[in-house]
Each structure stands twice: as C-alpha cells, then as structure tokens.
Structure 1
Amino acid sequence: MPQVESYDGSKDPLDHLESFKTLMHLQGVPNAIMCRAFPTTLKGPARIWFSRLTSNSIGTFKELSAQFASHFIGGHKYKKSTACLMNIKQQEDETLRSYIARFNKKALSIDEADDKILIAAFTNGPRKGKFLFSLYKNDSKTMSDVLYWATKYMNTEDALLAREEKPKKRERQEDTR
C-alpha cells in the first residue's frame, strides 16, 4: 500500500493534504479516523504545530485541513501564468532536446494551459533554422503532435550526427597507423 511522505512544513501543504486524503479515501477511512491518522504524517515543525492545537478544538477533518493549510500556506506553490512561457528561448549553445526539456518543465507549472497557447509559446522559443522551419511547415494542432514532431526531428538529427562521426573516427584511426 502506498504511503504519504512525511510533511515538515517546508513544502506545499495543499499537495500533502491531497495525497493524504486520496490515500485515506482509497482505503475507505472515515473522517474521524482521518483526524487521528493525520498527525502520523507530520514531522518536525509540522508535528509541533499539531501538538500545540487545543484538545477537542477541531471537530472534523475539514476543519483540521483548513487550519493546517492556513498555517502552512507559505509553502504553497502557486501556478504560473502562461505568459512566462513566452520568455523561454532556446539558447545559442543549447540543444533542441535541452530546450524542450526546459520548456516542458516550466509548462508543468502552468495551470490550465490550452494547446493553442502552449504551441504558440513553444514555437516562439527555438532558434531560427531547419527545425523551426519544419515546425511551421508541419502546422501541428496539438502540443502532443508538436512534441512528436520534435522527437522525430531530434532522432533524425542524432542519427545524422552519428553517421558523420563514424568516418571521422576511421580517418583518425588510419592516420595513427
């Protein structure tokens, strides 16, 4: 059975609450027992906070959740706007693979970004060249299609680079003989 990672007050309290509630609901645990089980997921400053709550001051898990969230809200990670994606540009010495990984990581922090916005932001970032040309030429309608196209392009690029390197290695070996 999966377990909830201990919470020490330094991370997102809402994420911890959701993980805990999901696990409890999966097991069919009633709210009264959730109140008693919740402190077992706390450590350090979070456990101290819980131990300082006045006895019988909380009647439901919903109340406990609200107090917990409001106390540790400083650790909450807020979702970013899609506007921040428009600033992601492929650096001069950055590979396409690295740019895509960086873009995807940032895109995961965006709340409810639709495909049109993601595609527009993504196509705004690559350096001018063959990939960007092929991206516009392909005119993908979904971000999945864009990433599929990019993966095909990167794999082709890798294969061509590997093919170019083999003759160079042979030439070096022949020169040393």
Structure 2
Amino acid sequence: MPQVEVYDKSRDPLDHLESFKTLMHLQGVPDEIMCRAFPTTLKGPARVWFSKLTPNTVSTFKELSGHFVTHFIRGQRHRKSSVAILNIKQQKDESLRSYVTRFNKETLLIDEADDKVLVTAFTSGLKQGEFFFSIYKNDLKMMAETLYKATKYMNVKHAMIAQGDTPRKRERQDDPRPNGGRKSAQTND
C-alpha cells in the first residue's frame, strides 16, 4: 500500500483526504478497499473517531469522506486573504532577514497569492533605507526575484560586517567634512 502521512486532527482534513484519494486512484484501488485502507492513515483522535462509527453504516468511500470532513473540518486551518499581508510592516529595529522570514511565514497562510500583490505588499512594508531604495529603483515584478535581491543584499551586508565595515563607518568615510564629521577634541591655547 502507498504511504500516506497519518492524520491526527492537527492538519487540514481536506488536504489529508485529497492526498489519500490521489495515491489510491494512482494505484487503481477500488472504492471498497479505500474504505478499508483509510483507517490505517488515522492516528490518535482521528482513529478514535473512526472506531466509533457504527459498523455497516457507510457503504461508499464518498460517504466515509463526507463523515470525515464534516467531523474534522473544525480543526482546519483558516486561510487568510492576500489583503492580510498588506498590513505586514518591517519594524524600526527589525533586520531585513527577520522581516523576510516573517513575511514568508504569513504568505504561507494565504490562498492563491498573486505575485504582483506579494511584491507590492513586501516592498510597501519595507522601512526606508538602502535596500528600500534599490528595490524601488529596479521595479521588480516577481516575488522570487525580490527575495533573490533581498538575499544578495543581506549576504553583502553580512560580509561587510564580518570584515569590520559597517554602514555608519562608511558614512563617516564618505563625509566631506574634516575628520569625516567626527568631533575632535579642541584645545584652548
């Protein structure tokens, strides 16, 4: 029998059911066998639920599927709309890496997120700075290329820090004022 990840009530029941049906149909398994094989994919509370079904009350896999989904649909993770990601903003002291991670986690909870919406939400949530400027300057259209650009930026910044160069140090070096804008000790002679 093909291996299906067990269902323990913590995941989406529709996803579990579709995975099971897809594997069974690929193997050409008849409806009766699907009914008998399905409980082997259940664990914990889901297995207890199945054992409480009255014998001989389910005659097709479609009926069994209906009972399963009806009972476990409450545990299904609710998907967010893509509008929800428009509220994700990079915090004042938040690193770009942390923002990217948080943004990506939120996008996993969204059904059918459009690439243009993702790029718009990501860029509008960025705090102003070098990376913000470079993203708007390049007018990126795909989320994959936006994340690629963010990764390159983070890697360069990490390499600069590793070499002892920091953005503040560079600003002082580029400052045309004497001593790079640093205050020097004045003597009163």
Give me the TM-score of the superposition, normalised by structure 1: 0.85
Residue 145 of structure 2 corresponds to residue 145 of structure 1: yes
Residue 81 of structure 1 deviates from its aligned partner by 0.8
Residue 146 of structure 1 deviates from its aligned partner by 0.9
In structure 2, the residue matched to 1:130 is: 130
SS in structure 1 at match of 2:11: coil
Residue 73 of structure 1 deviates from its aligned partner by 0.8
Separation in 2 of the partners of 1:82 and 1:67?
Answer: 31
Residue 153 of structure 1 deviates from its aligned partner by 1.2
Separation in 2 of the partners of 1:101 and 1:91?
Answer: 13
Separation in 2 of the partners of 1:114 and 1:134?
Answer: 22
Separation in 1 of the partners of 2:60 and 2:114?
Answer: 37
SS in structure 2 at match of 1:118: helix
SS in structure 2 at match of 1:124: helix
Residue 150 of structure 2 corresponds to residue 154 of structure 1: no
- Structure 1 residues 50-102: Cα deviation after superposition (integer angstroms, max 9, x where no partner): 12222222222121111100001111112101111011111222211111111
Counterpart residue identity of residue 5, structure 1: E
- Structure 1 residues 103-159: Cα deviation after superposition (integer angstroms, max 9, x where no partner): 011111111111111111001111110000000001011111111111111111111
Instruction: Work out the number of aligned pairs and report it.
Output: 165
Residue 58 of structure 2 corresponds to residue 22 of structure 1: no
Residue 164 of structure 1 deviates from its aligned partner by 1.4
- Structure 1 residues 10-60: Cα deviation after superposition (integer angstroms, max 9, x where no partner): 332112212222332333322221110011122232222212222222222
> Over aligned residues, Cα RMSD in angstroms?
1.7
In structure 2, the residue matched to 1:67 is: 67
In structure 1, the residue matched to 2:6 is: 6
Gaps of 5+ in 2: 166-189
Residue 6 of structure 1 deviates from its aligned partner by 2.5
Separation in 1 of the partners of 2:115 and 2:50?
Answer: 42
Counterpart residue identity of residue 15, structure 1: D
Quick check: which has more Rg, 1 or 2? 2
In structure 1, the residue matched to 2:96 is: 96
Residue 4 of structure 1 deviates from its aligned partner by 2.4
Residue 41 of structure 2 corresponds to residue 41 of structure 1: yes
Moved over 6 A (4+): none
Counterpart residue identity of residue 64, structure 1: L
SS in structure 2 at match of 1:17: helix
SS in structure 2 at match of 1:72: helix
SS in structure 1 at match of 2:164: helix
Counterpart residue identity of residue 124, structure 1: S
Separation in 2 of the partners of 1:30 and 1:136?
Answer: 56
Separation in 1 of the partners of 2:2 and 2:40?
Answer: 14
Residue 87 of structure 2 corresponds to residue 87 of structure 1: yes
Gaps of 5+ in 1: 166-177
